[in-house]
């Protein structure tokens, strides 16, 4: 069971060193925080992205090995892919790519923040370990790739460049007119972690599971919008969404201060349904799992409304060739008890519902496609 953390960034100075980027983040974060209430224009940088593979969390395998080889720095400057120093590619044929939520960060960074360290149990390292266990079986291990947003405004994750447009509050506007960059960057993540493999080999030999939690759901929503017929580059998104390589998509307790949160354009699923049927592909398994924290939020009622609309659309008989949906609101009592067990020192009452929200990223069930695979291994 392997785990990688990808640190994502943009920069207008492509020759700067990784050391500078580490310093840049600490210098700029207070500035972003100070202007947070003054401007919410999209954060724009020159071409990227830059990807860094951070040291993997400590994972003990069945044969007693210690931690996995430490990650090296990968970075992309425009269309040029370089790797320094080289490292061995991931070995599993099942890769789980995770886009997390606000607050979630590397443990080292979370400990520096008085607010974030309350949620240290949901750090990206611990999440990677949890996902690896969830998607691994007795005979096969899953590699987990956690995409860590390089741009943070206080504790808000800004998933540039996966999103068409995102402001300093992390609010994204999905659009089909983004040259399918979201799907392109997901493919680049796979190329980076499986060096030496051609796109054809990736398509033939890999099983990919996409997981978006909270703010990270916006990346999945943008991906689905790239499949709209009006996108002149839709073939790129379709090469992922219509690939047998894509095994399942998990949408976990997504939320935002502005709609849309989910892909609720019926045309998306009209197109996917027709294309999957034409190519003889089964429906794409999608897990929609959430909590009352988001789905019953009175302050942001559109989250629950969009959830119901999404379920209504993909449940239509005419669209059932596009997606097989499993929907579940996790029990608040179970989530709350799990949070209390992980925090025996006590949970502040005003933060309890946020802890329930984070527990969704740990306790969501796996879809039948993964249950059946584990049962047969």
Query: Is residue 50 included in any domain, yes or no?
Result: no
Query: Is residue 20 included in any domain, yes or no?
Result: no
Helix (H), strand (E), coil (C) string for 247-316? EEEEEECCCCCCCCCCCCCHHHHHHHHHHHHHCCCCCEEEEEEECHHHHCCCCCHHHHHHHHHHHHHHCC
Question: Rounded CA gap, 350 and 234, in Å?
Answer: 44
Question: Rounded CA gap, 59 and 104, in Å?
Answer: 19
Query: Is residue 58 included in any domain, yes or no?
Result: no
pLDDT at 193: 77
SS3 295: helix
Query: Is residue 358 included in any domain, yes or no?
Result: yes
Query: Is residue 130 included in any domain, yes or no?
Result: yes
What are the b/e assignments for 183-193, b being 16+ CB within 10 Å? bbbbbbbbbbb
Radius of gyration of the chain measured on its C-alpha atoms: 20
Average pLDDT in the chain: 75
The pLDDT confidence band at residue 60, using thresholds 50, 70 and 90, is very low
For residue 366, count other CB atoms closer than 10 A to its CB: 16
Residues 272, 322: contact at Cβ < 8 Å? yes
Q: What are phi and psi of 334, to 5 degrees?
A: -65, -45
Cis amide prior to 260 (ω within 30 degrees): yes
CB within 8 A of 206, min separation 6: which ones?
Answer: 93, 94, 95, 190, 194, 245
Query: Is residue 44 included in any domain, yes or no?
Result: no
Question: Rounded CA gap, 332 and 162, in Å?
Answer: 32
pLDDT at 211: 97
The pLDDT confidence band at residue 267, using thresholds 50, 70 and 90, is very high
Question: Rounded CA gap, 284 and 368, in Å?
Answer: 12
pLDDT at residue 51 greater than cutoff 80:
no
Name the pairing type of β-strands 143-149 and 284-290: unpaired
Return the C-alpha torsion angle 26, 29, 30, 31, nearest 10: 120
Domain containing 349 equals: 3-7+89-376
Q: What is the CATH number of the domain that holds 134?
A: 3.40.50
Q: Find which of 41-50, 269-278, 338-347 is predicted with most confidence, using mean pLDDT.
A: 269-278
Question: DSSP class of residue 101?
Answer: -
Query: Is residue 26 included in any domain, yes or no?
Result: no
Of 176, 249, 238, nearest to 203 (Cα)? Answer: 238
pLDDT at 367: 95
- Tell me how many domains the chain contains: 1
Query: Is residue 307 included in any domain, yes or no?
Result: yes
Of 210, 114, 101, 216, nearest to 163 (Cα)? Answer: 216
pTM of the model: 0.79
> For residues 174 and 53, which has the higher predicted lDDT (pLDDT)?
174
Task: Give mean pLDDT, residues 199-205.
Answer: 87
């Amino acid at each position: 069971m392997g785990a990688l953390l990808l640190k994502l960034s943009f920069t207008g100075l492509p020759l700067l060193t990784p050391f500078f980027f580490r310093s840049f983040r600490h210098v700029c974060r207070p500035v972003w925080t100070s202007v947070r209430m003054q401007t919410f224009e999209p954060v724009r940088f020159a071409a990227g992205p830059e990807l860094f593979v951070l040291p993997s969390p400590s994972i003990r395998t069945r044969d007693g090995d210690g931690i996995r080889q430490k990650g090296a720095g990968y970075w992309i400057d425009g269309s040029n892919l370089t790797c320094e120093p080289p490292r061995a590619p991931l070995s599993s044929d099942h890769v789980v790519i995770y886009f997390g939520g606000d607050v979630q960060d590397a443990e080292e960074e979370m400990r520096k923040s008085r607010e974030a360290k309350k949620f240290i149990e949901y750090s990206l390292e611990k999440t990677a370990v949890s996902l690896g266990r969830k998607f691994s079986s007795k005979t096969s291990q899953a590699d987990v790739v956690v995409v860590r947003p390089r741009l943070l405004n206080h504790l808000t994750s800004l998933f540039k460049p996966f999103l068409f447009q995102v402001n300093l509050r992390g609010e994204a506007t999905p659009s089909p007119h983004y040259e399918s960059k979201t799907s392109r960057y997901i493919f680049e993540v796979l190329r980076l972690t499986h060096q030496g493999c051609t796109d054809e080999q990736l398509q033939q030999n890999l099983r990919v599971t996409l997981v978006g939690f909270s703010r990270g759901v916006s990346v999945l929503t943008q991906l689905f919008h790239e499949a709209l017929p009006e996108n002149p580059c839709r073939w790129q998104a379709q090469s992922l969404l219509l690939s047998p390589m894509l095994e399942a998509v998990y949408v976990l307790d997504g939320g935002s201060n502005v709609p849309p949160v989910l892909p609720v354009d019926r045309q998306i699923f009209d197109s996917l349904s027709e294309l999957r049927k034409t190519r003889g592909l089964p429906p794409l398994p999608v897990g929609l799992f959430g909590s009352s924290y988001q789905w019953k939020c009175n302050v942001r009622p559109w989250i629950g409304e969009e959830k119901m609309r999404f379920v209504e659309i993909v449940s239509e008989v005419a669209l059932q060739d596009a997606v097989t949906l499993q929907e579940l609101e996790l029990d608040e009592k179970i989530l709350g008890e799990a949070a209390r067990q992980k925090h025996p020192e006590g949970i502040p009452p005003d933060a309890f519902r946020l802890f329930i929200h984070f527990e969704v990223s740990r306790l969501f069930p796996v879809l039948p496609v993964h249950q059946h695979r584990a049962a047969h291994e």
